[in-house]
Each structure stands twice: as structure tokens, then as C-alpha cells.
Amino acid sequence: AKLSENGVAGFILANGALSGGGEEYKIRRKLIENDIVEAIVILPRSMFYTTDISVTLWILNKNKKARIVQLPDATRNYRNRENEILFLDLREKGIPFEKKFTQFSPDNILEITQTYHNWQTSPPLEGCPEDGVVYQNVPEFCHSATLEEVKAKDFSLVPSKYITFVNRDENIDFDDKMTALQSEFSELLKAEAQSKNDLLTVFKELGYEL
């Protein structure tokens, strides 16, 4: 209600608001049905001095229609994003800051902002040209969901319900893995036996044979 016709707002909430029930569910569903939610961005842990938990950045936009906007340094040709929500999972992004905190590097910021702006200005595609201008869904990073997808998830905004995650176990050849482990353990046992022999030799030379 406080936003103008073209107003955009961003605010931080605990992750529980993404799928909470009761009044939270009613508010979240109303925001989605009114097509105000533009992006849900889950942040890494330890980004704030007051808490180490992961939190979520909500971006609300009252005008997701196609339009041209003149910015101070660029002209942005927004596409129609009605009935779409962009999900970004940034929990694996970031670099250490003051030893126990996390911050985004310049490269992180560039990747995140370009992904968001590309989504705003180009339709989601399965493939992406070499120049990377057109938005694409990226496993473990981003996904553009339709309103129907969100309804099918009972209006949950948990990014992991939409972003594809890679099951790396499926790509493991267990015979090869076990052979490699067998070789590693064999070398470790040989090294352990050699260390034991060296220790016994030292004590023997000192006249204290074990």
C-alpha cells in the first residue's frame, strides 16, 4: 500500500516466512496472487553481525509489465514478467570477511545483478548464447517459476522447491572410487608400518629395545 504505481521494495525476512502457515501463509498467498513478488533471494549465512543464520531478501514490484525505463547510465527495456517469480539461491556464494563473516565479492555481485537484470529483460530460455546476455535457469543457482508452479507448491516460496539441485552421487562410479580408496589406504598402511619400524630402530639404537 505504501508503494507507488511503479514502486519497488526490498526487505529481509527470516527463512520461515517462505513457507510458514497461519497468518504468514495468508499474507504470502495474497502477495503472490496479487503478483507483487518479483524475486526471492536466499542469502548465505553469517552476512550480518547480529545473527549467523541464512535469511531471505524479498523483492516486491508493483509493475512487472513490459516498459522502457531510462536510468542515469542506461536504458532498460523490461519484458512482461507478470505471473513469474525469480528464485536465487546464494548460499554457496560469498567470500570470508573478518574471519567469521561472509560478504559478496565484486565478481559475485556482478554475477547476481546480471542474472537478475537479464531475467527482467529477456525471456527464460533453456539455452544461453555465448555472450551470456539471455537469462537461463542454472542448477543450484537460479530458476524462473511461473505462478502455476508456485500454486502447485501451495504458495511456498522456498527456493529449493524450484531450483534444480544436482545429485552428484549419481555420477560416481563406485568401483573406480573404491579402487582409488583401496590404493590410498594401502599407501597409508605402508607408511604407518614404516613409521613403526623407524620408531623401533631409534629405541634399539638408544639401548632401549622394545
Give 151-159 contacts, CB < 8 A, sequence gap 24+.
155/25, 155/28, 155/29, 155/32, 156/18, 156/19, 157/18, 157/19, 157/28, 157/32, 157/37, 157/40, 157/85, 157/87, 158/15, 158/18, 158/19, 159/18, 159/40, 159/42, 159/87, 159/88, 159/89
pLDDT value at position 128?
A: 44
pLDDT value at position 119?
A: 94
Q: Write out residues in the chain with pLDDT < 50, as ranges.
A: 127-132
pLDDT value at position 131?
A: 44
pLDDT value at position 79?
A: 93
pLDDT value at position 169?
A: 60
DSSP letter assigned to residue 159:
G
pLDDT tens digits for 75-125? 889 999 999 999 999 999 999 999 899 999 999 999 999 999 999 997 665
Q: Where are the alpha helices (DSSP H) in 13-146?
A: 22-33, 106-121
Give 97-105 contacts, CB < 8 A, sequence gap 24+.
100/46, 100/52, 101/46, 101/47, 101/49, 102/44, 102/45, 102/46, 102/47, 103/47
Q: How many CA atoms lie within 13 A of 3 on its CB side?
A: 13
pLDDT value at position 130?
A: 42
DSSP letter assigned to residue 139:
T
Q: Where are the alpha helices (DSSP H) in the chain?
A: 22-33, 106-121, 147-152, 174-205
